[in-house]
Structure 1
């Protein structure tokens, strides 16, 4: 009798211990898996705001860009024919510029005659051209300082006119003599050379 009892006791733990390793690993695996994932998530979560903070810091300087002219004031020698015409007959270059800024309200000949008359009678034709420079800066979002624009025309009238001439060319105008506003492309006549941003699709407007 004594020999049979220990045999049963020995069998019992063998069966229980034999089943335990089959159950414990399966139960322990899901419990041990979440901790590493939570640590990795916490480490990832800690790095995400640092990256987002870096991108946000870089945005304001891009939005605060200062508008500038497409060419410099003293780059007149890049277009020698226009420089020669402006040096000897500034009324012609002024007439072309004024016709484009006013969108063909008057012809180049009318504006040139007005400039020549004021220049002959008073010698202050540069003030008339400075007014159109100020008007041009407002239309095309250029540096708009009236005092500086007036001084530029007072000190160096040919350079100022040539710069405005090249700026209109950069906006798509055909500035050749004899073309005028009427012979500009339909796109230029509709927009006036103003750069229009692309339209946002309907799905993005919500």
Structure 2
């Protein structure tokens, strides 16, 4: 799933901090108003399409209403960290989601974007984008010479 842009964003380092919401104000506003959408989009990409945006967002919405969204959402932070070998910062994943769930969701969305994914496209859209980027242009036979 990693797009190979290791010079710009090396494995083992987050591309933004937990409080880097100013770097993407649109994402910040969306997450504050409707975190289930931002979370669902990121979860679909992290899960490589095994979980749809709608399903992940709905589960998040339901567990948020009983007060334990962090128990569901932190698992996707762990998966994201595993994909890019990211450290468990600033504390363990469950604590980050318990104390700063909106900031964590925003950071995870930004991380995907900064590593070449667009969570708003879903997994299929990102897979197509990556496949197009990895395709070699067709070779053209040299013209006939006399």
TM-score range, shorter chain: 0.7 to 0.9
Change (3 A) 1:182 1:71: same
Higher helix share: 1
Answer yes or no: is the 8 Å Cα contact 1:96–1:180 preserved in 2: yes
- Asked whether 1:134 is paired with 2:93, we answer no
For residues 159 and 78 of structure 1, the distance between their equivalents in structure 2, rounded to whole angstroms, comes to 12
Query: 1-side partners of 2:129 and 2:85: how far apart?
Result: 19
Task: State the Cα distance separating 1:92 from its structure 2 match.
Answer: 0.8
TM-score, normalised on structure 2?
A: 0.75
1:186 Cα deviation from its structure 2 partner: 3.7
Which ranges of structure 2 fall in alignment gaps of 5 or more residues?
1-9, 132-146
4+ residue runs over 6 A deviation: none
CA contact (8 A) 1:74 1:159 kept: yes
Contact 1:69 1:142 in 2 (8 A): yes
Q: Distance in 2 between matches of 1:108 and 1:133?
A: 15
Aligned 8 A contact 1:138 1:144 in 2: no
Q: Distance in 1 between matches of 2:51 and 2:11?
A: 33
For residues 154-165 of structure 1, what are the structure 2 equivalents within 5 Å? 154-165=98-109
Residues 49-98 of structure 1, C-alpha deviation per residue, up to 9 Å, x if partnerless?
xxxxxxxxxxxxxxxx9922011111101111110111121111110111
2:30 equivalent in structure 1 = 85
Q: Which runs of 5+ in 1 are unaligned?
A: 1-64, 190-206
Superposition RMSD on alpha carbons, in Å?
Answer: 2.2
Query: What TM-score do you get using the length of structure 1 for normalisation?
Result: 0.54
Match of 2:51 in 1: 106
By how many angstroms is 1:118 displaced? 1.1
Larger Rg: 1 or 2? 1
Highest relative contact order (Cα 8 Å, sep 6+), 1 or 2?
2
In 2, the alpha carbon distance for the partners of 1:70 and 1:81 equals: 18
